[in-house]
């Protein structure tokens, strides 16, 4: 099939969904109130609670939820065929992911900007709050350590991206100063900042930077340390200093990158060379339930509930902004995932070089996706996307070296956004846990952030010279999707208490909990058979916690149903 048809059809479906289903949810289910005061106003502190223009907040929200998720998930899921991956991305994002994100943000706006884990104590009971927050802490612990490795790996694969990514920081601080201290237009100065950022990409293309090993500390380990130091600083600064302006620049960058990719699809319109269905791919696990765990960002991701109810709800200026930011942001991420499918399933066919040999068409895809083991690595997934997307963009006449740097910066910038947002979120979780445990000193900004960063550093260097988090990565997919199912459980109970129809959140909730429990059972069996006792033990503990939380939630739902 022609990739242009897929891109156009997906875009039309998302536009229709936003203006129909999104509007229905806003009016009939979440009952958005344009006159309601938001936590950014009632709890304004100039650090985390800051009322923000919705276009600026959209930049933060979207770049935080996107990260590398909508790239690496679809980039491996296409091995099962582009049809199942595409169907799951479109249906999942419209009816599950966007509902999950929208509901998480609204529920936080109605509960003083608190995280959904903390709110669970009010809506279900305090035990559920503690269970949920333990699961969230574990998930964020892995995210912080893993994204340090992701960015370090991108720096190693694309050393041309180092200068642009780091120079983006002073550019963002300058943008924040001009907008918030000098009162300048965020659009005008955002465009200027983006132009400056693209100038650094040209510099980076010709001045690659490699971090040398220092004694026994590898290059990746060195980058991980530097990145976690950055995450500490960035997550403790007021959001107007770095987080908002940097994410706003990244939003411009994303829009430009997506526009270039869509133009590339329009000009080159390559045919899909990936198989439509390939459920017997060599070494690949079962399509169901693993597809729903492998493709998270782009369809539904539990991490999004933390962003929606963590940082974004504290900056939202009005309830009416929740729909474009959360529901709209998820649909745009779905479109990005569709573009990734096209890049890996069609763009790669325009040319793939391996071991000095240039492959084209189906042969190129088969070389990249010879087996699950050869395609599942982080480097392989990023390489597949970068190769396919750069092929399509160079069809516009841009130099290959600049395009490769552009895509490397694209991936690293979004991963960096997720890194410092996750660190800030972990600070919130630690603070809320500290309050529950009556240890307020631990919950203060710097002690909580230190715990967040130091525990991630310990995980990163537990083995592999900074890559220790990779040991727990096999658990993350199921845990992340479990967060999504549990967030939908909290939202569903909240709707039931409000006597609002629950089917629109309950059906996605049941589906996600069923798929993640199924996947976790498969994982635990595999870990037990392979003697991976650390993974088995942690997975078993999380399974017990989730089962306990689900039972508590179902009991409350049953009681509310009887009280009708």
At residue 409, φ and ψ (nearest 5 deg) are: -65, -40
CB-based contact 297:303 (threshold 8 Å)? yes
pLDDT band at 521 (very low <50, low <70, confident <90, very high): very high
Alpha carbon distance 366, 41 (integer Å): 55
Give the chain's end-to-end CA distance (angstroms, integer). 51
Return the pLDDT at 414: 80
At residue 354, φ and ψ (nearest 5 deg) are: -135, 125
For the cut 90, the answer to whether the pLDDT of residue 409 exceeds it is: no
For the cut 90, the answer to whether the pLDDT of residue 19 exceeds it is: yes
pLDDT band at 220 (very low <50, low <70, confident <90, very high): confident
For the stretch 152-165, pLDDT in tens is: 888 888 888 899 99
For the stretch 222-261, pLDDT in tens is: 999 999 999 999 999 998 999 889 989 988 888 888 899 9
Return the pLDDT at 379: 75
pLDDT band at 524 (very low <50, low <70, confident <90, very high): very high
Q: Tokens 């997720």 map to which residue?
A: 418
For the stretch 287-297, pLDDT in tens is: 999 999 999 88
- Provide the token pair at 247: 């994410």
CB-based contact 133:433 (threshold 8 Å)? yes
Per-residue pLDDT, averaged over 478-495, amounts to 94
Least confident of 70-84, 129-143, 149-163, 301-315: 149-163
pLDDT band at 564 (very low <50, low <70, confident <90, very high): low
Per-residue pLDDT, averaged over 139-147, amounts to 89
Tally of domains within the chain: 1
- DSSP category for residue 46: S
Return the pLDDT at 50: 93
Mean pLDDT of the chain: 91
Count of Cβ atoms closer than 10 Å to residue 281 Cβ: 18
For the stretch 358-377, pLDDT in tens is: 889 999 999 999 899 888 87
pTM beyond 0.75, yes or no = yes
Per-residue pLDDT, averaged over 391-397, amounts to 88
> Which CATH number is 343's domain given?
1.20.1740.10
Query: What b/e sequence results for 7-34 when a residue is b if at least 16 CB atoms lie within 10 Å of its CB, and e otherwise?
Result: beebeebbeebbeebbeebbeebbebee
For the stretch 61-106, pLDDT in tens is: 998 898 778 888 999 999 999 999 999 999 999 999 999 999 999 9
CB-based contact 359:367 (threshold 8 Å)? yes
Compute CA distances 72 → 161, 182, 479, 540, whole Å: 18, 40, 17, 26
Per-residue pLDDT, averaged over 312-325, amounts to 96
| Closest CA relative to residue 295, chosen from 520, 71, 74, 509 | 74
Q: Tokens 């390939």 map to which residue?
A: 278
For the cut 80, the answer to whether the pLDDT of residue 55 exceeds it is: yes
Domain limits at 186?
3-562
Return the pLDDT at 437: 84
For the stretch 334-350, pLDDT in tens is: 999 999 999 999 999 99
Per-residue pLDDT, averaged over 279-289, amounts to 89
């Amino acid at each position: 099939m022609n990739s242009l048809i897929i891109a156009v059809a997906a875009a039309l479906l998302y536009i229709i969904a936003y203006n129909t289903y999104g509007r229905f949810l806003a009016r009939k289910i979440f009952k958005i109130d344009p006159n309601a005061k938001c936590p950014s106003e009632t709890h304004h502190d100039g650090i985390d609670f800051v009322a923000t223009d919705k276009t600026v907040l959209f930049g933060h929200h979207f770049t935080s939820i996107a990260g590398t998720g909508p790239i690496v998930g679809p980039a491996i899921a296409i091995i099962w065929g582009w049809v199942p991956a595409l169907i799951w991305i479109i249906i999942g994002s419209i009816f599950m992911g966007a509902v999950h994100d929208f509901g998480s943000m609204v529920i936080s706006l109605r509960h003083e900007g608190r995280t959904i884990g903390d709110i669970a104590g009010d809506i279900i009971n305090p035990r559920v709050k503690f269970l949920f927050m333990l699961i969230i802490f574990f998930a964020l612990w892995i995210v912080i350590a893993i994204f340090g490795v992701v960015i370090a790996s991108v720096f190693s694969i694309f050393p041309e991206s180092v200068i642009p990514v780091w120079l983006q920081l002073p550019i963002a601080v300058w943008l924040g100063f001009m907008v918030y201290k000098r009162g300048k237009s965020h659009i005008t100065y955002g465009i200027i900042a983006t132009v400056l950022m693209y100038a650094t990409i040209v510099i980076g293309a010709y001045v690659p930077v490699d971090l040398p090993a220092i004694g026994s500390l590898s290059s990746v380990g060195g980058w991980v340390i530097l990145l976690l130091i950055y995450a500490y600083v960035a997550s403790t600064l007021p959001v107007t200093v770095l987080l908002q302006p940097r994410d706003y620049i990244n939003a411009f960058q994303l829009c430009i990158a997506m526009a270039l990719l869509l133009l590339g699809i329009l000009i080159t319109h390559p045919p899909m060379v990936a198989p439509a269905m390939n459920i017997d791919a060599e070494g690949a696990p079962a399509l169901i339930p693993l597809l729903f765990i492998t493709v998270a960002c782009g369809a539904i991701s539990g991490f999004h509930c933390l962003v929606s109810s963590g940082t974004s709800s504290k900056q939202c200026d009005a309830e009416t902004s929740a729909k474009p930011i959360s529901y709209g942001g998820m649909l745009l991420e779905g479109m990005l995932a569709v573009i990734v499918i096209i890049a890996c399933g069609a763009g790669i066919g325009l040319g793939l070089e391996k071991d000095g040999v240039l492959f084209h068409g189906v042969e190129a895809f088969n070389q990249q996706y010879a087996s699950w083991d050869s395609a599942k690595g982080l480097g392989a997934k990023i390489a597949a996307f970068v190769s396919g997307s750069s092929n399509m963009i160079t069809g516009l006449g841009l130099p290959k070296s600049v395009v490769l740097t552009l895509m490397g910066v694209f991936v690293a910038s979004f991963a960096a956004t997720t890194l410092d947002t996750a660190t800030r979120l972990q600070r919130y979780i630690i603070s809320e846990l500290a309050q529950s445990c009556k240890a307020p000193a631990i919950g203060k900004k710097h002690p909580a952030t230190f715990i967040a960063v130091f525990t991630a550093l310990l995980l990163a260097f537990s083995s592999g010279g900074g890559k220790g988090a990779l040991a727990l990565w096999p658990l993350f997919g199921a845990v992340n999707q479990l967060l999504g199912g549990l967030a939908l459980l909290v939202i569903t109970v909240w709707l039931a208490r409000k006597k609002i129809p629950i089917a629109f959140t309950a059906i996605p909730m049941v589906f996600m909990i069923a798929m993640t429990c199924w996947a976790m059972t498969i994982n635990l069996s595999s870990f037990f058979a392979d003697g991976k006792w650390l993974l088995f033990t942690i997975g078993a503990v999380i399974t017990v916690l989730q089962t306990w939380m689900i039972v508590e939630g179902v009991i409350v739902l049953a009681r509310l149903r009887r009280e009708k």
